[in-house]
Each structure stands twice: as structure tokens, then as C-alpha cells.
Amino acid sequence: MSELTADEIVDLCLRHTLYDWQQQGSTRPIAVASARGCEFFTVDGKRYLDFNSQLMGVNIGHADPRVAVAIAEQARVLPYISPFMATEVRAELGAKLAELMPGDLDKVFFTLGGAEANENAIRIAKATTGRQKILARYRSYHGATYATITLTGDPRRWANEPGMPGVVHVLDGYEARFLSPLKIEMLPGIDPALAARLRAAGAGRGDGTSVADRIDDLLRETGFGEDAWS
Ligand SMILES: Cc1ncc(COP(=O)(O)O)c(C=O)c1O
């Protein structure tokens, strides 16, 4: 049972904390009290079916007793240790993930979230290949840090430009029927000549013609082809 009312919780949250992905002045979050399995419950007692596992992160279900016990036990024995140390849970989780990963992938780098994982993946890829350019889709969200918001294709990137150098946004290889002329125009920063050529190649006709195979040629001609990546 919350000591504060739903309105008090929401008002205090809005007054002293910033909200991701929202216009701060117009957002009105839901005051949540608890969650179990595939449902969560508001402070006012309303029940929601959580189709999205919140941010796709609670796939095992909310408040699974096995997870609650494991967290409590770890907090009692060793709640924090520097990442330079070796621990039994780290050893076991690393080995388990190596077992599940495809091919000869057998090493993981633990991070605290998606953006941080992407940041480290970029740095590892750059260090390994010696190359600088990164391809990212226009239809994408990759995180809210400086590098990952640059990778992000959707409009959340715009206010953060210019971002990290070396990022090149590309179209998805979708069927032409999904690429209406309007959507091509809306792709931020797309060269108008390239937009016109994509349309001419079949995008937006709605006849199901695939433009994916022709996009490669168009990108190569406009300087974004394979040879530009090295
Ligand atoms: C595809 C994708 N990549 C990266 C992120 C960023 O993850 P995080 O919010 O844990 O930094 C998200 C978050 O929604 C995501 O959906």
C-alpha cells in the first residue's frame, strides 16, 4: 500500500525527475504500485495486462519468486564488487551464455543496458577493423547516449545533431509497397536526387515491386557503396 496518493506520486515524479522520450510539460505517467506475472497494478488498484514486458525487459514475468530470492540472496552475500574481480555468478552466467550463443562466439561483455552495449560494440568493432563508418537504419532506435542517438534513425535523433562522425543511415530493404513517396521525403537528410531515383526504381508504386536489389546499385552510384566502407 502506497503512503502517497497516485496524484502525489505523479506530481513529485514530474517536479523532480526527467522523463525519457517525452515532452516534459505534457506527459502524465501512470502511478504503478506493483506487478506480478504478465500484469501490473496502479496505485489506484487498476490492473493492466503488460503485453510489452515494459521495455521488452521482463520476459520471465514480473516478480518471479525465483528471481526475487536470487536477488535477495546475492544482496545478502555480495551486493557489489569491482568488475576487475572474478565471481561465481559471473563465471556461471558467462559460461551459460557462451553455450547458448551461435557459432564460435564464446565471450560476452556485461553492460548495464542497451545503449551501453551498443557503445561498446561500436568501440570493439572500430578497434578490431580499423574502420570508422557505421551503417544504421533510418527506421531504428539504438539508445539515448551520444553515439547511440546518432545511430538512431527516427526523429529523436534530430535535436542531437551533429552527432558522432562516421554514421551513415540506410533504408531498409522493404518491398516497394511499404515505401510511400511521402515516407521517402520524410527520411531526414536524404539527398532529394536519391529520393527521386528510389521512387523511380519502384518505391511507392504499391505494386509489390522489390526495390531492395536496386538500392545497392543506387547507393554505390551515390558514393555509399561497398568500396566506401573501408
Ligand atoms: C533496439 C534497441 N536498442 C537499444 C535500446 C537502448 O537500451 P537502453 O534503454 O537499455 O539503453 C533500446 C531501448 O528501447 C532498443 O529498443
**What is the average per-residue pLDDT within 40-62?**
94
The finding on whether 55 has its CB within 6 A of some atom of ligand 1 is yes
CA-to-CA distance for 199 and 211, rounded, in angstroms?
9
113 lines ligand 1 (CB under 6 A): yes
Are 68 and 169 in a shared domain? no
- Cβ of 154 below 6 Å from ligand 1: no
Tell me the per-residue pLDDT of 166-176, one tens digit each, with 9 for 90 and over. 999 988 765 44
Catalogue the long-range contacts made by 201-210 (C-beta closer than 8 Å, 24 or more residues apart): 202/176, 203/176, 203/179, 204/176, 204/179, 204/180, 205/176, 205/177, 206/176, 206/177, 206/180, 207/176, 207/177, 208/175, 208/176, 208/177, 209/175, 209/176, 210/173, 210/175, 210/176
Whether residue 49 is found in the same domain as residue 129:
no
Pocket flag, ligand 1, residue 142 (CB < 6 Å) = yes
Tell me the per-residue pLDDT of 4-34, one tens digit each, with 9 for 90 and over.
999 999 999 999 999 988 889 999 999 999 9
DSSP structural state of residue 154: S
Report the DSSP beta bridge partners of residue 136.
169
Q: Judge if pTM exceeds 0.75.
A: no
Asked, for residue 109, whether it belongs to a domain, the answer is no
CB 177 within 8 A of CB 208: yes
Residue 216 lies in a domain: yes
| Residue 135 belongs to domain spanning | 114-229
Segment 119-133, tens digit of pLDDT: 999 999 999 999 999
133-181 confidence digits (pLDDT tens)? 999 998 899 999 999 999 999 888 888 999 999 999 988 765 444 555 5
Same domain membership, residue 120 and residue 223: yes
Q: Over 80: is that where the pLDDT of 212 sits?
A: no
Q: What is the whole-number distance in angstroms between the Cα of residue 141 and the centre of ligand 1?
A: 7
